[in-house]
Amino acid sequence: MRIAVLMGGTSDERDVSLSSGAQVARALREAGHDVVAVDTVRGALPGEEEERLLREGVRAEPPRDLELALLDEGHTVALVRDPSLGQVDLFFLALHGGFGEDGTIQSLLDVAGVAYTGSDRLGCSLAMDKEVTKRLLRDAGIPTPDWLVGERTAREVEEALGLPVVVKAAGGGSSLRLHLAHDRAELEAAIAASRTWGDVVVFERYVNGREVTVGIVGDLALPVGEIIPAHEYFDYACKYQPGLAQEIFPADIPETWARRLQELALGTHRALRMRDFSRVDFMVDEFGEMWCLEANALPGMTANSLLPKGARAAGMPFSELCHRIAVLASARKRRG
């Protein structure tokens, strides 16, 4: 197939997306596809730019607001601007955050009538909004930590959820715009910071325990992985800088836990109307209770990201994983 890999964009997860996209493009070529790598801001990337992205990886800090604003000034979606993209068979989405993961670009591709990988606009928008996700999980009988949403005082949050407590943006990703408040002073500071986010704020009961994750490909739940960060929680640095987290696949957990987590991950994938692939994150507390934190409709797709590591533990190399996702999307388009 001729495949355009869409990456970049103007969200604060731009660097992660560029790294994912460059590695997906290389993997798809290894699988025999004809591939063009496309930054949705700048258009089709030359080979030397792809090589630079592969070489440099994700920077230690996310792009700053000024950098994103400069990109956004002349932002035109590349698939509208570049007529050569009308010749592709499939768009492989390696976008994260912003309009890439919230259903916006999926709506555009649906209107264009083209095939693309991953969840549609509904699945993406449901998974992107953490508060909506939690409501749907609760309705589906999937345990998720208690939460509050919207404008709240520190006293209200502490009385309802206790301390420590997690404060995060409903539409955030990569642990950006997330605070773990240990006491009243930190909670008040997190609430003050959240007023600059331009997003709905979610306060979530903190679950102390083991952080685990389950990838989904098609209808297959991949082996469970455990994440052991060097920092107090799995923050941006631990996610993308070498040596700051252990990511163990398969996790060293009882088989009964693994089966239950896979069942819950599949249930989450279906409840949120996701398709093709996703990743679902959990905490397992000291009593063995499993709590779903969130789902990712477009999880990281570098070779060392969590979903590909889970696939590798199932005997599926990165190039095969990317090929399988592309085939799932192509087959769906043919059926439609």
The residues assigned a catalytic role are 13, 174, 240, 279, 281, 294, 296, 300
Query: Measured between alpha carbons, how far is residue 333 from residues 198, 267, 272, 321 in Å?
Result: 36, 24, 21, 19
Distance separating alpha carbons of residues 107 and 140, to the nearest angstrom: 26
Q: What are the C-alpha distances in Å from 133 to residues 119, 174, 233, 271, 297?
A: 15, 17, 21, 9, 11
What does the DSSP 8-state code read for residue 291? Answer: E
CB distance 124 to 102 below 8 Å: yes
Cα–Cα distance measured from residue 37 to residue 45, given in angstroms and rounded to the nearest whole number: 6
d(CA 59, CA 309): 21
Burial class (CB in 10 A: 0-12, 13-18, 19+), 124: buried
Phi and psi for 177 in degrees, rounded to 5? Answer: 55, 50
In this structure, what token pair is assigned to residue 204?
């979530």
CB atoms within 10 A of CB 242: 7
- Given a contact cutoff of 8 angstroms between Cβ atoms, the answer to whether 38 and 5 are in contact is yes
Integer Rg of the chain from CA: 19
Q: Who's near 251: CB < 8 A, 6+ residues apart? A: 212, 223, 224, 225, 226, 258
